[in-house]
Every structure is written in structure tokens, then in C-alpha cells.
């Protein structure tokens, strides 16, 4: 039994449910800052592993976690604690975080999150679209 009509062909190749792209986009917008930090840390870890010829499994053993946990870390999707970051720094002999001193940070006001203006405008635009789509 072959697929005859254009509608049948389209139905055969399309997803049956919602793709979830809108929820994914909203999640990325809401979590953009920590995701960028996590991805930067992941890239630094991967480059160091390659440079020092260390496997993810060996790193897992050094910091006392499972190889699966290290895999999540190097994908940049893991929420890292300061303890885990510190263990990674010791195991890899690198620095992953540097906290700026408040005296040198002229862009931040105490208690106010930093957000570049162009990103603030984009975020507002995307959230506006999100609200239109979810209300309608």
C-alpha cells in the first residue's frame, strides 16, 4: 500500500505532536546567562582534556563523580556547584572562574543584574512574541 496523495505523504513525514521548540526557546532565553557560562567552562574543560590527553573517565575518577556526570558537564548543560568547579580546577590544574572585584566593576550596580541593552531589547521582543502565541 503506497502513499498516494500529497496530504498522505505530508502526514507520513510530519511529527504527530508539538515539537516543543517554543518551550526550548523560552528556556534558553530565561537561562541564557548561566548556559553561556556553563558552555564556556565546558569548552575550557574539553580543550584541557585534549591538551593533557586525559579521558572523561579519568577526569570522573579524579573528581569523584560518574563518567556520565562528566559527560553532562562537557556538554555545557550541567548546573555546576562551586565545589565541583573547584574540584575540576584542581584535577585539571586550570582556573575556570574569576570573580571580579566590586571596586573594578563599573558596569554593575550593587544588587542589579547586568544585561547588555541589545540583549534586553531582544529578550523583550521574544517574550512579547511568546505572550502573543500563548494567549492566542
Of 100, 112, 113, the closest CA to residue 34 belongs to 113
Task: List the chain domain ranges.
Answer: 20-97+113-135
Rounded CA-CA distance 18/30 in Å is 21
Residue 110 has what pLDDT? Answer: 47
* Pairwise pLDDT comparison (111 vs 56), residue with the higher score: 56
CATH class of 20-97+113-135: mainly alpha
Cβ contact 108:114 at 8 Å: yes
pLDDT tens readout for residues 20-60: 888 999 988 998 888 888 899 999 999 999 999 999 999 99
**pTM > 0.75:** no
pLDDT at residue number 101:
58
Output the nine-digit C-alpha cell for 65.
563523580
Tell me the mean pLDDT in the region 79-105.
83
What's residue 4's pLDDT? 74
Question: How is residue 102 annotated by DSSP?
Answer: G
Amino acid at each position: 500500500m503506497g502513499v498516494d496523495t500529497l496530504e498522505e505523504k505530508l502526514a507520513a513525514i510530519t511529527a504527530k505532536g508539538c515539537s516543543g521548540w517554543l518551550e526550548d526557546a523560552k528556556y534558553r532565553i530565561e537561562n541564557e546567562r548561566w548556559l553561556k557560562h556553563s558552555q564556556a567552562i565546558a569548552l575550557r574543560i574539553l580543550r584541557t582534556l585534549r591538551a593533557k590527553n586525559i579521558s572523561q573517565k579519568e577526569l570522573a575518577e579524579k573528581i569523584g563523580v560518574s563518567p556520565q556526570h562528566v559527560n553532562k558537564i562537557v556538554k555545557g548543560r550541567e548546573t555546576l556547584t562551586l565545589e565541583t568547579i573547584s574540584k575540576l580546577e584542581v584535577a585539571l590544574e586550570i582556573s575556570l572562574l574569576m570573580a571580579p572585584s566590586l571596586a573594578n566593576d563599573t558596569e554593575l550596580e550593587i544588587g542589579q543584574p547586568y544585561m547588555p541593552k541589545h540583549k534586553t531589547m531582544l529578550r523583550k521582543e521574544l517574550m512579547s512574541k511568546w505572550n502573543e502565541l500563548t494567549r492566542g
